[in-house]
Structures are given as C-alpha cells and as structure tokens.
Homo-oligomer: A and B are copies of this chain.
Amino acid sequence: MRVGIDLGGTNTKIGLVDDNGKLIERFSFSTRDFSKPNNWVKRCLLELKGIKGIKTIGIGVPGAADFKNGQVLYLPNLPGWEGVKIVERLKSGLKKDIKVAVDNDATCMAIAEHRFGAAKGYENAVCITLGTGVGGGLILNGRIYRGSRGVAGEIGHFPLVPWGKNCSCGGRGCVERYVGNRTLLSWAHRNGIIKKGESLEDITARAKQGDSAAIEFWDKVAYTMAPVLVGVVNLLNPDVVVVGGGVSGAGRFVLSPLKKYIKAYAMKVQARSVRIVQAKLRNDAGLIGAAMLLDL
C-alpha cells in the first residue's frame, strides 16, 4: 500500500493509494492546529498507526522541497519549516522498511496527471495549478524534471510583467501576483462582477448561464496569463499543457480562450503540436502524486 500526504496551508490530507493510482481511503486534519513540524509529524504518525502494509509514503508540500535530500527548503505560508528534514523525522517513527519522500505539491500533481491523468502517454508536459498560489510541474523526456536543486517548475514565479508588482518570493511581476485567486477576487469585486461574499465559483456559475460579464472575466484571466504560457510553450515545446487547481474549475471558460491565445501567438511548430487541457484528477492529484513519488 502507498500513502500520499498533502500538506496544505489549511488542511493536511492523507490518502491510501493503490499502484494504479486509485485513492482507496482518505482522511484529513487541520494543518493550523499542528502547524509546527514536530506536532505535524506526531499527528501524521498517529493517523498512520493503524494502517497495515504501508510500503511507501510521499509528502507533497506547498513550497520548495529537495526530493533528493528529503528536506523541506522553504514554505512561503508556513513559517518554521525552513530546512526541516521531514523524511528523516517521519521515518524515525515508522517501521524501518517503509520508504518516505517529499516534494513540491505541484510536482506531485504533475506526476499524478502524467501517470494517470490528462498528461498520460505524453513525453513532455507542462502542468500548472491555478489557486491561491500558482504552481507548476514539468514532465520532460517522459520523467519529472526537478532541476539542479529540486525546485524547478515555478511557473507561478515567472515574471509576467517586467519589474512589476512585488512578490512574496522576492521577485517582481510574478504570474501569481496577477492571476492568483486573491488578485482575481479583488479584481472581480472592483469591476462589479461579484458581490461581497461571492466567490470565483459564482462567476463560473454565471458564465454557464450565459452572463457576458462573467464570460469576459474568464477570457481576461486567460488573456492576462497567456504571454507566460506562450513563452513556456515556445521554450519547452511540450506535447501538452495541463491546467489544474481551483481556477481550472472554470473549465472551458478559461481553457478555450487560453487555447485561442496560445494557438495564435506561440511559434508555429510549437503551437501546432501542443494541446491545452484541463487536469483530470482535480483535488486528488496532489495526494495521488505524492503516493507515487517513490517506486516500490
């Protein structure tokens, strides 16, 4: 049996996953109540205690992780995790033959989509998750690409606007600052597309009813981020771009214009050969991918 652990800013999800990527059972706890690494590890061990036949455990974290050294490098929204050797800590409470690994959550999502989802069968895939944060994972030459220190894939921190808005990563003009959920919400609010208390899902619901302002909103979101996706398509010449995360719930309302802009503005050969598709595994992708971090 495989276990995937998805450390989220709000909740930590734990899932039992079989070799075919099927999620058999899941449970979760509030990350906030156990946000310090020591407490979090104890709580995870408690959850894992009753489970028989665990062979491998993978942890997905919302930030930079070093898969090779089993270490969390930096989590922007969870202080106190910098440099934590999470694999070693979890292992010390487990049976010796259980293998443990850690990686970035968007990387886990890319692994899952490549093994079982929308990127299945493709050699080169770019996966992007659109949510509060904007993450990314790269499948190149049929394998996850991690880069030199294990932190590759950060599409959300590609500068979209040169020397634009300050980003929490220390950079300027990052994609995340323009199409992260918070920005989109305040943008929709400012333009009277939603009222107070409404969410991005409400905009999608209205788009489905044919509301032109709602449809235009998602087109504008696609228009805003298209240049970076055009660039990534030109640079990496992938077979497929997989769009996941909360915003991808807008489905065709964001996917169709994105496709339109990429096909029209990417270089000819790249544009012709790329598919732009929605993620398949949705909310479970991170969990399933984490469970697949290690081969048995």
A residues touching B (Cβ–Cβ < 8 Å)? Answer: 64, 73-74, 123-124, 136, 138, 140-141, 143, 145-155, 157-163, 169-173, 223-224, 227-228, 230-232, 234-239, 264-270, 272-274
Contacts and interface: CB of A to CB of B under 8 A. Distances in A.
Nearest to A171: B265
Contact of A267 (B140, B157, B223, B269): B157
Given A140-B140, A148-B239, A235-B153, A268 B158 contact: no
Given A162-B227, A163-B227, 17 more contacts: A74-B268, A141-B143, A145-B236, A147-B237, A147-B238, A149-B270, A150-B237, A151-B269, A152-B237, A154-B237, A154-B267, A161-B162, A169-B268, A170-B265, A171-B266, A172-B265, A232-B235
Nearest to A122: B148
Contacts of A154: 234-235, 237, 267, 270
Copies in the complex: 2
A281 to B, nearest CB: 22
A73 B147 contact: no
A210 B267 CA distance: 41
Contacts of A149: 237, 269-270, 272-273
Contacts of A140: 140-141, 145
